[in-house]
Structure 1
Amino acid sequence: MKKISTLSAMLLAGLTFAQTAEKTTEIDTAVKYANTITIEDLKEDLTILASDALEGRETGKRGQKMAAAYIKTHFEELGLEGPAEAGNGYYQNVPLKTSKPGDIYIKFGDTQIKNLEDFLYYGPAYNIEELTTNVVFGGAGSTEELKGLDIKGKTVLINTTDRNTRQSALEYVQKNGGKMLFVIYANNEEEHSDYYNKYKNYFDRESIGLDKGDGAEIAGIVFISPAHGAAMFETTFDKLQKAIASNKGGKKNAYKKLKESSISYKIDYASKKIISENVLGYLEGTDLKDELLVLTSHYDHEGIKNGEIYNGADDDGSGTVAVMDIAEAFAKAKADGNGPRRSILFMTVTAEEKGLLGSEYYADNPIFPLENTVADLNIDMIGRVDDRDEIVGKEYVSLVGSDKLSSELHEISERANKKYTDLYLDYTYNDEGHPERIYYRSDHWNFAKNGIPVIFYTTGSHPDYHKPTDTVDKIEFELMTKRTKLVFYTAWEIANRDGRLIVDKGEKEDKVSK
């Protein structure tokens, strides 16, 4: 063994001490600013945002505007920049329209059927005069089946009772130029009737969507009965199902006997334009300032229904005040000369409850280039606990998406938790086969579908979800604070590490309407 001189030993010991001191200082710095996130601050902000005075923060209504003003004032007081180009830089105006279905019908052969009487239409609220197109049979709606079809400018009919298949088929039709997706979402007439009766009122209500102009025609879904679907091909539902079974059995020409037929349809909506707002606060980084980390939550909720205020303390008041207080921690770090290397955009978005519309609008009209955006950390409901067996009695948070696009992001998240917060990390909802499809149901999705790594932080549903009983008095503030700190520590590492997160998983998706 080689001997080490006394001088070498002293130098080695000094170097080791310096490295340890540097590491300790780095840890202490993160802890110092994480500890500015307190139960008291979170509770104070949430008590205001989820108060009756804000009337449930429904998109486009007075309470939502009041909430936006409160968040904006907070960002201003922190010294964050308002990065939007026009008007008030803290607001990105989101053009929306409310719509109520009018005269919507389908014609084929000598038959005419009407929306809300014979079928249910769900899709973009645009107006077109009667349009004629061909309808093709897409079997059970799998991607493999659809790839074998020429669908551009045509309507596709499928038969499936699987929600995931239905959604992926719609995305395929939209991406490949299809006009409409017809779905027989049943195995028989009775099942169709049950679905129709259960959801008719939902499809008949006024809805809100992005205002993309009168010419923005995007394929929607028509839920049609087995009999009407089969009649479009002048056959029976039984023969449609037999064709699907034959295809699955290896007869790839099973659908050729079901020749394309001509149909016509009309879509008509009564619409009104409104403006809502994403609220943005920007903290410029240092040497890596051109790269951007985004933290998101949605601040809208359900408003007032039947005279009752839906306060939305957990959904998503909890995520919104978490973003606000994380922003404050980073602003204090920058004021002390310890600002992040990468820039950070703190963004509370509108209209999540209406279909992820605020985040969709940002993704389609980004203030900062999406190619410069390294990750999105999205927080939606972190103030409560649910009763799932695997997390009962545990200090937990559920994570979704951390491993979908970047192995590094998942590893950073795991290390941050192990080093600082020691929460039980629950990945139940991360399974893409989970029936709730959580990965696609909050604002992170509009970043993930553009190839940007994401983590979605949530604690799952509870008995007060989307009820007027989702109030501040039920929030677990100690747990909520710990969960908020985990997001901060993860953001701290992403914003200050040498290398940008490597995207080594998944495949960048073309933009689709959620």
Structure 2
Amino acid sequence: MRLLPPVCALALLSACSQHPTENPSPLASEVSTAANSQVNSPVQFDEDRFRKDIKTLSSDEFEGRAPTTKGETLTLNYLTKAFKEMGLVGANKGDYLQAVPMVTYIASEQQTITLADLPLEHRKDLVLGSRHDNGGVDISKAPLVFVGYGVNAPEYDWNDYQDLDMKGKIAVILVNDPGFALPNSGKFDGKAMTYYGRWDYKFSEASKQGALGAIIIHETAAASYPWSVVENSWTGPQQDLVVDKVEQDKHVQVEGWITMDAATSVFEKSGLNLVNLIDRAASSPINIPLNQTASIKFESTASYANSYNVVATLAGKSRPDEQVLFTAHWDHIGIDESKDGDQIYNGALDNASGTAGILEIARQFAKQAKDGQPLDRSVTFIATTGEEQGLLGSRYYAANPIYPIDKSVAVFNLDSTNIYGRTLDYTIVGKGKSQLEDYLIDALKSQNRVAKAESRPESGGFFRSDHFSFAKLGVPAVFAGGGSEPIDEATAQYKTMMKAEMKGCYHNTCDEYREDWDLSGALQDLAIYYSAAETLANSQDWPGYFEGTEFHSLRAASEANLTE
């Protein structure tokens, strides 16, 4: 999950150790024995097979599954073979692969950067890159402008770019949105992040404003991830979708992040107090020239290659043109040869576990069909590429769907599964958005669990994984799983231990498969998705988004969306 981050995910990922444990601990074994059964599940998922898929996909052999690498080739072969063995059909005219044209940008590690006459160090103080195929960046004395949260939102009567001409200038932008800083003010969505708080929105809006560059000020609390995540995710190869030159030329020439400490020093050179300005920026739109400049120089390269989504379908018996979709991204960060020690970002939790999850669900639906109980609607599984680089695979599919978007009933997304044991509750990220959630809530009754919203809505989890690419087009989409309340004391003790072991592993090399993971909670969650999707696929319902949400106008939640 791209920069949970993101994601990447689900606020499950908060912990790490340098080395995986080879053998299950006694405590983990006790928890697994007590809690491994899938309570009242309509199906019994195969834990050994689920583990094997996670372990294989996240092995060193797969080299961190970066798009357009050897790791991708191995992953595509593995997933294609698995879907074919189940009896699912390649959705792309019999082919399991959908080509996603990508460009890979690599910025040199040797960068000369001066902001406000302060020499800054690449990685330590800031990370910068360029999404242009022009050999690099050579900017001299470009004016710096503080634009608050960098938001232009007419519906909130908010425009941080009001009366600004950004041509030739670099925008300096706060992370998140005004609601985060003033959650009780009634601004935006309070503590819960809106899409205006996302980094991709900020770079996009700065580009629309004609800015030369955009730099986001990193704050751990507001971003919901530490600087290490920025450094690991925004250095090395950076992929994007190939777009035409006219569209590409509109994008800022340089983009990236700066630490809070470095930004504070830059503002001090302007005679400004950054903390005070952050308070002002949350109260009302703001833009202030810093009366300082930036000089930035580094080389970069661009190369072009197709990456691939893996798309497999199981045809419905009576309404095969109507699709219930499952998504999970197969990609991760790959290898960083500049690192000392372990250089492979194995991505076991994020997201070998989610990819293994859709394989298990697909096997159960395939078995059900072979047993003479096919679904009325089709169910399609999309293992996406490039999620870590900005939801690239899902964005491409949504723009170039194999099955029409207006025939896509819903999307169930898996991005990091629950490795902390069974829970009494169940997290729905962005809870309250669509009627699709009702199917999950109904399925939870068989497990005596209750649905809750995520504990940290300020992290903007709903906008950080592949389901969002479909939500933007009005397709009801959910991102759910896990919970915060362990089923019993033994599970609570195990969770505390495993959280400590996993600390710091999000987008880090220690996100490796561990034999002592308690996956009983993950199997329960797979059963919820399975049950909800089965009910929806055998109904004539067309769920929609609730009034007051961002996507209500695209597919509204109303009786009109339910076919008798």
Using the size of structure 2 for normalisation, the TM-score is 0.65
Cα contact 2:327–2:382 (8 A) shared by 1: yes
Matched with 1:495 is 537
Instruction: Compute the displacement of 1:90 (Å).
Output: 0.4
Write the mapping of 1:440-455 to structure 2, written as runs, cut at 5 A.
440-455=463-478
Aligned residue for 2:543, secondary structure, equals coil
Q: CA 1:343–1:184 in structure 2 vs 1: closer, same or farther (change >3 Å)? A: closer
Q: Which runs of 5+ in 2 are unaligned?
A: 1-38, 153-157, 178-192, 220-225, 484-497, 554-564
Matched with 2:35 is none
Q: CA 1:337–1:58 in structure 2 vs 1: closer, same or farther (change >3 Å)? A: same
What's the CA shift string for 1:231-275, capped at 9, x where partnerless? 9xxx9342998888788888x8x86x9699999988852122233
Q: CA 1:204–1:395 in structure 2 vs 1: closer, same or farther (change >3 Å)? A: same
Q: CA 1:372–1:185 in structure 2 vs 1: closer, same or farther (change >3 Å)? A: same
Q: CA 1:236–1:456 in structure 2 vs 1: closer, same or farther (change >3 Å)? A: same
Structure 2 counterpart of 1:72, one-letter code:
T
Cα contact 2:332–2:350 (8 A) shared by 1: yes
Matched with 2:378 is 343
Q: CA 1:175–1:303 in structure 2 vs 1: closer, same or farther (change >3 Å)? A: closer
Q: 490-499 or 336-345, which moves further after superposition?
A: 336-345
Matched with 1:401 is 430
Instruction: Compute the displacement of 1:491 (Å).
Output: 0.9
Instruction: Compute the displacement of 1:377 (Å).
Output: 0.7
Write the mapping of 1:373-412 to structure 2, written as runs, cut at 5 A.
373-385=408-420, 394=423, 396-404=425-433, 406=434, 408-412=435-439
What's the CA shift string for 1:310-358, capped at 9, x where partnerless? 5443332221122112112222333344322222210111233333322
Matched with 1:428 is 454
Structure 1 counterpart of 2:95, one-letter code:
G
1:54 matched to 2:62? The reply is yes
Write the mapping of 1:1-12 to structure 2, written as runs, cut at 5 A.
none
Instruction: Compute the displacement of 1:385 (Å).
Output: 1.2
Cα contact 1:49–1:317 (8 A) shared by 2: yes
- Hey, what's the Cα distance between the residues in 2 that align with 1:113 and 1:345? 52
Matched with 1:478 is 520
1:277 matched to 2:277? The reply is no
- Hey, what's the Cα distance between the residues in 2 that align with 1:413 and 1:56? 32
Cα contact 2:147–2:161 (8 A) shared by 1: no
- Hey, what's the Cα distance between the residues in 2 that align with 1:208 and 1:36? 38
Write the mapping of 1:28-427 to structure 2, written as runs, cut at 5 A.
34-84=42-92, 89-102=95-108, 116=122, 120-122=127-129, 124-127=131-134, 138-143=147-152, 144-146=158-160, 148-149=162-163, 155=169, 157-158=171-172, 160=174, 162=176, 165=197, 167=199, 170=202, 173=205, 176-180=208-212, 182-183=214-215, 185=217, 204-212=235-243, 215=246, 216-217=248-249, 218-219=251-252, 221-223=255-257, 236-238=270-272, 269-304=300-335, 306=341, 310-385=345-420, 394=423, 396-404=425-433, 406=434, 408-418=435-445, 420-423=446-449, 425-427=451-453
What's the CA shift string for 1:345-394, capped at 9, x where partnerless? 101112333333222222232222323322211112224018xxxxxx73
Cα contact 1:33–1:333 (8 A) shared by 2: no
What's the CA shift string for 1:456-489, capped at 9, x where partnerless? 1344894433444621513323332222111100
Instruction: Compute the displacement of 1:497 (Å).
Output: 1.9
- Higher relative CO (Cα under 8 Å, sequence separation at least 6) belongs to 2
Structure with greater helix share of residues: 1
Structure 1 counterpart of 2:550, one-letter code:
E
Structure 2 counterpart of 1:507, one-letter code:
E
- Hey, what's the Cα distance between the residues in 2 that align with 1:40 and 1:108? 54
Cα contact 1:135–1:154 (8 A) shared by 2: no
- Hey, what's the Cα distance between the residues in 2 that align with 1:63 and 1:248? 44
Aligned residue for 2:83, secondary structure, equals helix
- Hey, what's the Cα distance between the residues in 2 that align with 1:342 and 1:498? 9
- Hey, what's the Cα distance between the residues in 1 that align with 2:375 and 2:315? 8
- Hey, what's the Cα distance between the residues in 2 that align with 1:64 and 1:279? 11
Cα contact 2:413–2:466 (8 A) shared by 1: yes
- Hey, what's the Cα distance between the residues in 1 that align with 2:310 and 2:229? 36
Q: CA 1:321–1:206 in structure 2 vs 1: closer, same or farther (change >3 Å)? A: closer
- Hey, what's the Cα distance between the residues in 2 that align with 1:346 and 1:169? 28
- Hey, what's the Cα distance between the residues in 1 that align with 2:60 and 2:436? 39
Q: CA 1:228–1:366 in structure 2 vs 1: closer, same or farther (change >3 Å)? A: farther
Q: Which runs of 5+ in 1 are unaligned?
A: 1-30, 188-194, 387-392
Structure 1 counterpart of 2:436, one-letter code:
L
Q: CA 1:416–1:97 in structure 2 vs 1: closer, same or farther (change >3 Å)? A: same
Q: CA 1:140–1:473 in structure 2 vs 1: closer, same or farther (change >3 Å)? A: closer
Cα contact 1:160–1:166 (8 A) shared by 2: no
Cα contact 2:198–2:460 (8 A) shared by 1: no
Instruction: Compute the displacement of 1:417 (Å).
Output: 0.9
- Hey, what's the Cα distance between the residues in 1 that align with 2:539 and 2:452? 26
Q: CA 1:148–1:489 in structure 2 vs 1: closer, same or farther (change >3 Å)? A: same
- Hey, what's the Cα distance between the residues in 2 that align with 1:248 and 1:295? 38
Q: CA 1:338–1:276 in structure 2 vs 1: closer, same or farther (change >3 Å)? A: same
Using the size of structure 1 for normalisation, the TM-score is 0.71
Aligned residue for 2:328, secondary structure, equals strand
- Hey, what's the Cα distance between the residues in 1 that align with 2:49 and 2:228? 47
Q: CA 1:181–1:146 in structure 2 vs 1: closer, same or farther (change >3 Å)? A: farther
- Hey, what's the Cα distance between the residues in 1 that align with 2:229 and 2:53? 39
- Hey, what's the Cα distance between the residues in 1 that align with 2:164 and 2:360? 52
Aligned residue for 1:71, secondary structure, equals helix
Structure 2 counterpart of 1:503, one-letter code:
Y
Instruction: Compute the displacement of 1:281 (Å).
Output: 0.2
Structure 2 counterpart of 1:447, one-letter code:
F
| Count of aligned pairs | 452
CA RMSD of aligned residues (A): 4.5
Identity of aligned residues (%): 24
Aligned residue for 1:504, secondary structure, equals coil
Aligned residue for 2:402, secondary structure, equals coil
Q: CA 1:130–1:356 in structure 2 vs 1: closer, same or farther (change >3 Å)? A: same
- Hey, what's the Cα distance between the residues in 1 that align with 2:410 and 2:229? 39
Structure 1 counterpart of 2:86, one-letter code:
L
Matched with 1:191 is none
- Hey, what's the Cα distance between the residues in 2 that align with 1:495 and 1:206? 40
Q: CA 1:450–1:112 in structure 2 vs 1: closer, same or farther (change >3 Å)? A: farther
Structure 1 counterpart of 2:96, one-letter code:
Y
